[in-house]
Structure 1
Amino acid sequence: MLATLRSYPTTVNLLLSASLILTLARAITLPYLVIYLSGNFHLSIADIGLVIGSTLIIGSLLSLYGGFLVDRMSNYRLILACTGVFIVAFLGTFATRDLWLFYLCLVAINLAYAVIDIAVKSGFGSLLPVAGRSEVFSIKYTLTNIGYAVGPFLGAGVARLDISLPFLLSAGLGAGFFLIYFMWGDRGLTGVGTNRQPAPFMAVGRLLLRDRRLVCFTLGGLLSAVVFGQFSAYLSQYLVVTTTPETTYRVISAIVATNALTVISLQYLIGRRITQAHLKLWLAAGLAMFVLGLTGFALATSLVFWVIAMVVFTVGEIIVFPAEYMFIDHIAPSHLRGMYYGAQNLNNLGAALGPVLCGAVLATQPADYIFYMLMLFIVAGGGLYFLGASLPGNIEVEERD
């Protein structure tokens, strides 16, 4: 991977650094939001879940317009502007004592992060040939997971001094990236759509809805994200109901670490081999791994069994993520690439729904029923993936420069 990074132009490496640094900044504070909201604002568990889930949903929905801006604005200016919002919002979470302002800051953080992510992926499409994009998507996902793996440990160290300091550290990391990108970022990097006659946002949205492949893959991704988007949350819910708090903490700590280590170890090795020519086979393999992993969770009776099931589950994640990126990149017209990736970000709605749906099942049905429900989501999502991959393209949407 290091040899590949050295072969990339500076602009590509700077875009990859955005994924690493800003994910690290976000991951530093995410594990402590529950504790912070409970201790500083005296919210109940239900209210905390509503705050965290709704800010993620709002940020995801608004990022669709962010994708529209990616196609219309200078990539360089948009990344700097969103990084500025990211920094100010984290400073706001550190300074404010009002819940409503804290809530708005969380929305701004999620939105800025999502738009930068879209701009980064769109930038890859502008800078690299089609054959090289699978590899860079895999590297990006590996770096993202490194950020999520390392961030909580940095946050834990800083939080021992003061529970508010992780927010300040996140703002500092954002400021560091801002300076790096301001100095060395490619000022000429723009979306292809900037050279076209601009179309209204709603007109572009209607155009995207006519691309049945995009609709199928977006819905398939949303359903699949119910399963892999917030797996630690619903597995914690399941373990709390079926075991003791001590066992829950021990198992969740082990499987989260297993997930991160498996992704970091295998993502690049597997992801670079995923090709457009065999996309359906790769998707089938990834979805099968999800089902096997869920079966393992349902049958797990020991920590070793949980870890093995998580390795299998994570291999599915390793395959499906870059396969989604590749399909969207393949069908997206160059002048609408930002909007297409913005539509893909709606997967986060599924991630937010996962713990809610599993909580409802756990409250009304036998605990292992959540795994049957999650398998049904995988089957439904997989059906939509295969339908989208089989459909012919729309002439109006496929027009390219």
Structure 2
Amino acid sequence: MAWPFLIVFLYEDYGASAIEVGTMLAVSAVVGAGTGLYSGYLSDKLGRKWVMVLGSWIASISYTGIALASEVWQFYVLIMMTGLMRPMIEAPAKAVIGDNLKDSKDRELALNIRYFLLNLGGALGPLIGITLALSQPQNLFFVAGGTYVVYGFWLLLGIERKGTFTKPDPSQLSNFAATLNVIRKDNIFVKLMVANFIMMFVYAQAESSIPQVIVRSSIADAAQLIAGLVLVNTLTIIVFQFPMLKWLEHVPLFVRTRIGMILMAIAQIGFLFTPNDWPLGWGIACFILSLGEVIAFPTLNVQIDRMAPPHLRGSYFGAAALYSLGFAIAPLLGGVVIEMLSAYWLFVLCFILCLVMIWLYWLAEHTEDSVEREPIPQS
């Protein structure tokens, strides 16, 4: 959640335009999406630990470098490196859960707990961010870099020392091309990836374009409002995640995800009609968007976990990084729309895309499954 503060920092200290900032974040997300599948494959082939440790150390170098950077080109390089590290940590971390828990319900609970803990950190992060980023923005990135150093050493010493993990049979992972071919033929998975790509594009506006709209508006203390929206998002997730998932426990996964998408669509209407100088309106729309996230995002991981063959779990989670291309396009296209048209048309576009992704999920649900896999429970 450091990016909203970085956007303010780049705009106020370096005069970076919306398109320039959007390009930085877009390049980072493209790098992450492009390397995600291969890093997932490597975690299947070689084991999870070393891929995650390397990713953590790259993250530490990247965030510390951002704190020390003094030229715009340096921000481009370092932000790109943060895109490289993310799938190296995310995909293997999710696959580790499946390696050690055989029951699908246990894995679902563990994935939800993981998502909850990430957002608990996200709730504490804005509090630190408000203190550090508003006075000395560089200190926020020093803290992030140091945190990843600690995380990397914890992984080095702790992962795979206990539990049921065993290194995969190399005969099941003949080569990278064969793995790609298996995933490409999974029609349901491919449709979900397209829909999730759109979802990431819509959601990413909250972290990229909306801060740019606010910081360029007439709102006083724009950075504090942005920090407040980040806090609304994370607190909503912490408070509502488990009650909402318990309420929807027996709702099929595809339907559950579409409910989250409908809430995201309603949030776009809220952003569309909120005056720039009305902080409460931004907060309400962000709250509705966050409720949609609470339902949809944890369910995405559960769906992928249940669809993936055990020996390709890391590769499937790695392939899922391709939908983070939505994050890549979002800052760039969002910045272009804001510069060339207005924020109004950006939110109109996002609302239409919400309708498209809802339709794609319905289509995927009714697609005949041509891949042999373990039975996929729907709730």
The alignment's TM-score, normalised by the length of structure 1, stands at 0.80
From 278, 284, 297, the equivalent of 2:258 is: 284
> How is 1:364-379 mapped onto 2 (pairs within 5 angstroms)?
365=341, 367-379=343-355
Aligned to 1:148: 122
Aligned to 1:125: 98
Shift of 1:391: 2.0
Q: Is the 1:74–1:190 contact (alpha carbons within 8 Å) kept by the matching residues of 2?
A: no
Q: In terms of mean alpha carbon deviation, does 79-88 or 275-284 score higher?
A: 275-284
From 198, 218, 234, the equivalent of 1:223 is: 198
Q: In terms of mean alpha carbon deviation, does 212-221 or 48-57 score higher?
A: 48-57
Matched, 1:50 2:23: yes
Q: Is the 1:134–1:275 contact (alpha carbons within 8 Å) kept by the matching residues of 2?
A: no
Aligned to 1:387: 363
Q: Is the 2:197–2:324 contact (alpha carbons within 8 Å) kept by the matching residues of 1?
A: yes
Q: In terms of mean alpha carbon deviation, does 247-256 or 369-378 score higher?
A: 247-256
Aligned to 2:182: 207
Shift of 1:265: 0.6
Q: Is the 2:25–2:331 contact (alpha carbons within 8 Å) kept by the matching residues of 1?
A: no
Tell me how far apart the structure 2 counterparts of residues 247 and 163 of structure 1 sit (CA, whole Å): 15
Look up the SS of the partner of 1:293 in the other structure. Answer: helix
Shift of 1:66: 0.8
Matched, 1:173 2:147: yes
Q: Assess, with a 3 A threshold, how the Cα gap between structure 1 residues 93 and 138 changes in structure 2: closer, same or farther.
A: same
Cα shift readout 1:330-378 (whole Å, capped 9, x = no counterpart): 1111111112111222222112323433444445556533332111111
Shift of 1:163: 4.5
Matched, 1:260 2:234: yes
Q: Is the 2:261–2:354 contact (alpha carbons within 8 Å) kept by the matching residues of 1?
A: yes
Shift of 1:70: 1.6
From 52, 55, 59, the equivalent of 1:82 is: 55
Q: Is the 1:65–1:339 contact (alpha carbons within 8 Å) kept by the matching residues of 2?
A: yes
Tell me how far apart the structure 1 counterparts of residues 349 and 146 of structure 2 sit (CA, whole Å): 42
Tell me how far apart the structure 1 counterparts of residues 243 and 235 of structure 2 sit (CA, whole Å): 13
Q: Is the 2:22–2:335 contact (alpha carbons within 8 Å) kept by the matching residues of 1?
A: no
Look up the SS of the partner of 2:85 in the other structure. Answer: helix
Q: Is the 2:7–2:212 contact (alpha carbons within 8 Å) kept by the matching residues of 1?
A: no
From 321, 324, 327, the equivalent of 2:300 is: 324
Shift of 1:103: 3.5
Aligned to 2:317: 341
Aligned to 1:16: none
Q: Is the 1:122–1:191 contact (alpha carbons within 8 Å) kept by the matching residues of 2?
A: no
Aligned to 1:62: 35
Tell me how far apart the structure 2 counterparts of residues 132 and 329 of structure 1 sit (CA, whole Å): 12
Shift of 1:87: 2.5
Aligned to 1:312: 288
Q: Assess, with a 3 A threshold, how the Cα gap between structure 1 residues 194 and 165 changes in structure 2: closer, same or farther.
A: farther
Letter matched to residue 295 of structure 2: I
Q: Is the 1:222–1:348 contact (alpha carbons within 8 Å) kept by the matching residues of 2?
A: yes
Percent pairwise identity: 24
The alignment's TM-score, normalised by the length of structure 2, stands at 0.84
Higher relative contact order (CA 8 A, sep 6+): 2
Unaligned runs of 5+ in 2: none
Look up the SS of the partner of 2:252 in the other structure. Answer: helix
Q: Is the 1:71–1:191 contact (alpha carbons within 8 Å) kept by the matching residues of 2?
A: no
Instruction: Say what the alpha-carbon RMSD is for the aligned residues.
Output: 3.1
Tell me how far apart the structure 1 counterparts of residues 141 and 286 of structure 2 sit (CA, whole Å): 30
Shift of 1:54: 1.0
